[in-house]
Amino acid sequence: MRKPRLPLADLVRRARHAMPQGQHHGAAAPDTLTDIENFGPNPGALRMRVFIPEHLPAGAPLLVALHGCTQDAAGFDHGCGWSALATAHGFALLLPEQRRQNNPGNCFSWFEPGDTSRGQGEAASIRAMVAHLVAAHGLDQARVCVTGLSAGGAMAASLLATHPDIFAAGVIFAGLPHGSAGNVQEAFEAMASGRPRSAEAWAGLVRAAAPPGTARWPRVAIWQGEADGTVRPVNARELAKQWAALHGLDPARPADQGPLGPTGAGQRQAWRDAQGRVVLEVNGVAGMDHGVPIHPGIGPDRGGRTMPFILDTGIPGPQRAVEFLGLAEAAEAAERPAPGRGIILVGADGTAHRPGAASPGAAPMPEPEPEQGGWPDPGAVIRKALKAAGLMS
């Protein structure tokens, strides 16, 4: 077990100070998640928590959801409604959880190079969890996505940067660019100022962290409260610069721009690749402080529960995230054969390999370099019922 990083108490105090009044305490969230032990290498000493919908077919996608500081996996799930969305749309859900022995405030260590580098620390633990779930449930390794809030959003950005061969897309809520901090002091500076760089400088930090020769970059959506006093909105602009440059696009020239939703409570910008596909999206929520925007209640485009950093804005952020990631079509896509890359198995030593491979190291799910260590269609009737219940948009 790693020693706790005591300076993170400062981050916790700041996070609590930023909570809306009256949201410091509350009843514990219902916990519908399952723990998985011995999933493989765990150098980051994280807890593995999962939600697998009943009758999930082989070839389903996987969403990794990373909570923010002072939160836990169950609370993040309950507030955002991730497991309800997984049930409605047919995808597996992985919610890694930080341990207080590592960080007093339950913050993922997005500012520690030893935890955000390929094959090391927390990043390696999360990668091992992904490999385990892909193997255990026959998931589609071409449709593994990640999302996160605040510290979890910044860690999601680093996972996208360091593992573009694993993650197809990501949605970052109130996060920061990969490489924006290398210690606690720099983390404070980044949260307040964004530590601005040129687009190419930001992109260079990702290229240096990714496997050599990487040519395909994940699609990324960014969500940011325009009144966020914890992670200032400048960070969303720096994030956009980083990912626009990686996709060969001009961060100052979005292809689409307009109001965010029918109420116009913010602005949406989108950048498209040469094929017209949206590869980068920035959503600025007017008047929102630090958190994930939700639209609680029953009905289409509604769900989740208001909690600290899970904020009722009338905008269904988690649902929009699932749509951007392509997971809203998961149930329909599940009837198709899984992509040719096949199913991955994980041995007792945590090594991932394909069934029938000559050795545990043959034809693996993309692994870190050796020196870095391991890692029915529901039918129209059912879909109509889910829509009527507000579980599918």
Strand partners, 285: 225, 266
Q: Active-site residue numbers?
A: 150
- Residue 330 pLDDT: 56
| Phi, psi values for residue 234, rounded to 5° | -55, -30
DSSP-based three-state secondary structure for 236: helix
Average pLDDT (355-374) is 36
Task: Catalogue the E-assigned strands of 174-323.
Answer: 219-225, 256-259, 266-272, 278-285, 292-294, 310-312
Give the dihedral of Cα atoms 177, 183, 188, 193; nearest 10 deg: -40
204 in a domain, yes or no? yes
Average pLDDT (94-111) is 95
Q: Which residue has the higher pLDDT, 318 or 300?
A: 318
Q: Which residue has the higher pLDDT, 55 or 373?
A: 55
2 in a domain, yes or no? no
Question: In 260-278, which positions are buried (b, 16+ CB within 10 angstroms) versus exposed (e)?
Answer: bbeeebbebbbbbeeeeee
393 in a domain, yes or no? no
- Residue 18 pLDDT: 39
Query: DSSP letter at 347?
Result: -
Half-sphere exposure of 198 (CA within 13 A, CB side): 3
How much of the chain exceeds pLDDT 90, in percent?
72
Of 9-18, 171-180, 258-267, 300-309, the range with the highest mean pLDDT is 171-180
Number of domains, the chain: 1
Domain, as residue range, for 343: 8-21+30-388
- Residue 261 pLDDT: 74
The position carrying tokens 């208001």 is 306
Rounded Cα gap, residues 168 and 170, in angstroms: 7
- Residue 265 pLDDT: 84
Least confident of 149-153, 225-229, 350-354: 350-354
Nearest by Cα to 156 from 370, 314, 321, 327:
321
Q: Residue type for 13, please? A: R
Average pLDDT, the chain: 83
248 in a domain, yes or no? yes
1 in a domain, yes or no? no
pLDDT, tens only, 264-282: 689 999 999 999 999 999 9
37 in a domain, yes or no? yes
- Residue 360 pLDDT: 32
Question: In 130-145, which positions are buried (b, 16+ CB within 10 angstroms) versus exposed (e)?
Answer: bbbbbbbbbbbbebbb
CATH code of the domain containing 378: 3.40.50.1820
148 in a domain, yes or no? yes
- Residue 354 pLDDT: 38
255 in a domain, yes or no? yes
Average pLDDT (219-244) is 98
Q: Does an H or E element contain 202, and which?
A: helix 199-209
Take residue 308 and report the two structure tokens written for it.
Answer: 């600290």
